[in-house]
Amino acid sequence: MKALIIYDDFASAARASATLQQSAQSPAASVQWNIIPWRLDLLKFPPTAEEALTEALGAHLVVFAGPCAQWIPVWLQNWLDHWAKCRRISDAALAVFGAGNARVLAPLATSGLSGFAKRHGLSLIFYDGGAVEDGTAFSIAGPYKRELPLSPAQNGRLSWGINE
């Protein structure tokens, strides 16, 4: 599976990447992540934004690592709109990693990302930085779902459902 990480500091990108890799190591998961990091400010410029978009078209997951999801600038909203319209993975999802408690993230993300996800039939995954094995560090919100924590049966992997 392919994940594109949008970050504004390297440490956040490294933590998000490590979390995705750790989620793939669970015996219950049979996922091999292909992770591509993109620094947020590089997406302002048309040549690099186009390159990132080309890489993101086949992404199963677009991750916002660190505080960059707290405020989505117009140019990034435009980039996301273009990605959502052109993406090749119909059940792709957005994720917010490492911005605090997962239950606090939901209201934060509802302003921009939640509405965006709803308009484009995407799910949102919130990860608060806790242990992946715990399962309570994640919550998922989708177009037809309320925010809901992952059950212990889903420990050690990222999962989502668009039309479940």
Here the tokens at position 63 are: 């991750």
pLDDT at 107: 54
Single out the residue of 27, 36, 116, 20 nearest to residue 69, CA to CA: 116
CA distance 106 to 113: 10
Specify the pTM. Answer: 0.75
Ranges of each domain in the chain: 2-154
Please check whether residue 58 is in contact with residue 83, taking contact to mean a CB–CB distance below 8 angstroms: no
Residues of the chain with pLDDT under 70: 27-29, 99-111, 129-164
CA distance 112 to 158: 22
Single out the residue of 143, 101, 149, 137 nearest to residue 124, CA to CA: 143
Here the tokens at position 146 are: 């309320």
Here the tokens at position 101 are: 């408690």
Domain 2-154 has CATH 3.40.50: yes
CA distance 40 to 30: 30
135 conformational bin, left if phi > 0, alpha if psi -120 to 50, beta if neither: left
